[in-house]
Amino acid sequence: MIAGDVTGLRGVDLGVRDVAAQVRFYTDVWRLAVVAERNGSVYLRGSGGYCHILALHPRSEPALLCVNLAAADRNAVDRLHARVTAAGAPQVGPTAPIDGPGGGYGFVFMDPEGRSVRVITEDARHADARPLPDRPERITHLVFNTPRQEDAAAFWVRALGFHVSDRSLLTFIRCNDDHHCIAFHPGGSSTLHHIAFEMDGIDSVMRGAGRMRDAGRPIEWGPGRHGPGNNVFAYFIAPDDFVVEYTAEVEKVDRDHRVREPGAWVYPPGHSDLWGATPPPSARMKAAQEKIRFAEGLFHP
């Protein structure tokens, strides 16, 4: 695997209005599993090794509270702390033990557009990690709206050692051999566009789409296959209007990967995915993709 000091996207902390209702959704329908509860917050795992990939915290308004990245080891965390500081992050917390389920060692900082990001190593991992049908393995990417997508990507490259993979309407960046784990989408302000969960193949994506439809949450865009990343996708609106994606078959890239620019993508006429079988994104999904803001201030769980 190609990875630098940051080895992967570990997950997200979300603020939600009704934790219990969200937990019912993310377990019964979305198929994550609860691993811990603490002070009203609930922590959920996928079938992969990370202790938890989604943490739900009670808040009066839905918000993205923190993006969590995995780091290689303690030396990597210390290097990243220096690098993030030198890159001009507006706020950087001290390196310290992580207080919370999974523990570990790391620090939190704020990127130039106000996103709290945590870098963690030595966190507890599950020994039974393996792909399971119908269960998300992990969060494979987050997409953020930004009025300055190239500046935003450049900061993550400079401060965290990410690489630009491709550009389309979005700018896709990676920290390992997955085509992207973060992408920046043009938008009027800094908000969350969507959260993508990796499934064990197309059948698991589509059976998940069936569960979502039965739960009153039909596909808002998809099924389709993206150009950048070549991944199969289906998008939905989760409680509190978080936009979530089931995806599979994300492209692996190596060190020789050459960045493709917006004109490189060829789709069936009138479409913006490789299959051309899906209607365009729904208007309500597009509205939801601009609603979720980042919580103000550095994240404290």
* Cβ-based nearer residue to Fe ion, 126 or 271: 271
DSSP H or E run through 133: none
CB of 97 to Fe ion, least distance (A): 33
CB of 256 to Fe ion, least distance (A): 24
* Cβ-based nearer residue to Fe ion, 23 or 243: 243
Q: Any idea which residue has 């030396």 for tokens? A: 75
When CB distances to Fe ion are compared, the closest residue is 196
Cis bond upstream, residue 280 (ω within 30): no
How crowded is residue 297: how many other Cβ atoms within 10 Å of its Cβ? Answer: 11
Among 18-26, 243-251, 256-264, 277-285, the segment contacting Fe ion (CB under 5 A)? 243-251
Binding residue count for Fe ion, defined by CB under 5 A: 2
* Cβ-based nearer residue to Fe ion, 23 or 173: 173
Phi-psi group of 35: left, alpha or beta (phi > 0 → left; psi -120 to 50 → alpha; rest → beta):
alpha
Applying CB under 5 A, does 240 fall inside the site for Fe ion? Answer: no
CB of 194 to Fe ion, least distance (A): 6
Q: Any idea which residue has 């969590």 for tokens? A: 68
Q: Any idea which residue has 């597009």 for tokens? A: 286
CB of 221 to Fe ion, least distance (A): 10
Question: Rounded to whole angstroms, how far apart are CA atoms 235 and 6?
Answer: 27
Q: In the range 264-293, which residues lie near Fe ion by CB under 5 A?
A: none
* Cβ-based nearer residue to Fe ion, 19 or 196: 196
CB of 206 to Fe ion, least distance (A): 16
CB of 95 to Fe ion, least distance (A): 31
* Cβ-based nearer residue to Fe ion, 42 or 139: 139
Please answer whether residues 183 and 141 qualify as being in contact, where contact means their C-beta atoms are separated by less than 8 angstroms. yes
Supply angle C-alpha 65, 2, 90, rounded to 5. 35
End-to-end CA distance of the chain: 31
What is the Cα Rg of the chain in Å? 18
How crowded is residue 214: how many other Cβ atoms within 10 Å of its Cβ? Answer: 10
Q: In the range 160-219, which residues lie near Fe ion by CB under 5 A?
A: 196
Applying CB under 5 A, does 220 fall inside the site for Fe ion? Answer: no
* Cβ-based nearer residue to Fe ion, 43 or 233: 233
Applying CB under 5 A, does 245 fall inside the site for Fe ion? Answer: yes
Residues in the site for Fe ion, rule: CB under 5 A?
Answer: 196, 245
